[in-house]
Copies of this chain bind each other. A is one copy, B any other.
Amino acid sequence: MKNILIIGCGLLGSSLLKRISKKKIAKKIFVFEKSKKNFSKIKKLKLPGILVNRLEDAVPLSEMIIFCTPMSQYQKIILRINKFLTSKHIITDVGSSKIRSLEVIDRNLKKNISWISSHPIAGSEVSGPEYGKQNLFENKWCVLIKTKKTNNKHLKILIDFWKKIGSRTVVMSPVKHDKIFSITSHLPHLIAYNLVKSAQDFEKKQRNNLLKYSAGGLRDFSRIAASNEIMWRDILFDNKSNVISAINLFIRNLNNFKKDINSKNHKSILRKLRQTKKVRSKIIKLKQDIDKPDFGRN
């Protein structure tokens, strides 16, 4: 790889930057960051790479372009760089939902330009370049999206790129991707937000300072609910129909569970509680978590 341009240098952008630099994956790394606050943070942190003020300067010099901005920024940026793009560019992004963002890309991107979407399953409740970690992607899945338009030569290069970043790669369609992640990621996040909101509502109404006692369960959800709000609005809106199906499935289950509690249906509750335990063992077997009990972080 010659040069890489990273557009948007928050948690994911800065983590990629550090990794690319450490593993010498590119000759030069250009970094574009719109936010003045993050721009000066990047300077202060002395991150590797060349901070550029104008996308127009960096695009023609880069072989690969990685969008690490919120998905709602894609259109604006595409329209700005379109005339500097050529068929040799490999463009990717790290957005968390795919069908809708690919529609936006298709509608706005100049013809015969190759954009292959990526979704590294890595992240955290924090955002900003100060949290970047070169090993953020280590052994994590990175989903690459294949459509009819996908340039297979570029796909191979991109798979190779993510492997160098440390990820395990898997290729799937945008439809499959958005379905799976509506359940494994989007639903858990919105549930966490709503759980924390319910606690806030209760606290206001009851005037009880209940957060003091959040170590009993609420705490763990508050972590997830602290994630970046712009990013999550974009995801929930973009993957609307899958997300709403997931919410409906969840509410159906929750209502049945409520009925079981109300009628004290021992058999049904115990069966349900036992079944969900199996998922935990599967997740550990799949190395998606470690088998170390969480005794309350302190």
Contacts and interface: CB of A to CB of B under 8 A. Distances in A.
A203 to B, nearest CB: 8
A103 interface: no
A191 interface: yes
B196 A276 contact: yes
Contacts of A262: 240, 244
A287 B211 CA distance: 10
A181 interface: yes
Interface stretch (A30-38, A41-49, A222-230): A222-230
Nearest to A297: B290
Nearest to A193: B276
A107 interface: no
Nearest to A182: B202
A272 interface: yes
Contacts of A279: 196, 199-200, 211, 222, 225
Identical copies of this chain, number: 2
A71 to B, nearest CB: 14
Interface stretch (A61-69, A149-157, A247-255): A247-255
Contact of A198 (B138, B250, B261): B250
Interface of A: 96, 121-126, 131, 133, 136, 138-141, 143, 176, 179-181, 183-202, 206, 208, 210-226, 229-230, 232-233, 236-237, 240, 243-244, 246-247, 249-251, 253-255, 257-258, 261-262, 264, 266, 269-270, 272-277, 279-280, 282-283, 286-290, 292-298
Given A183-B210, A200-B275, 5 more contacts: A141-B213, A179-B208, A186-B217, A225-B280, A229-B270
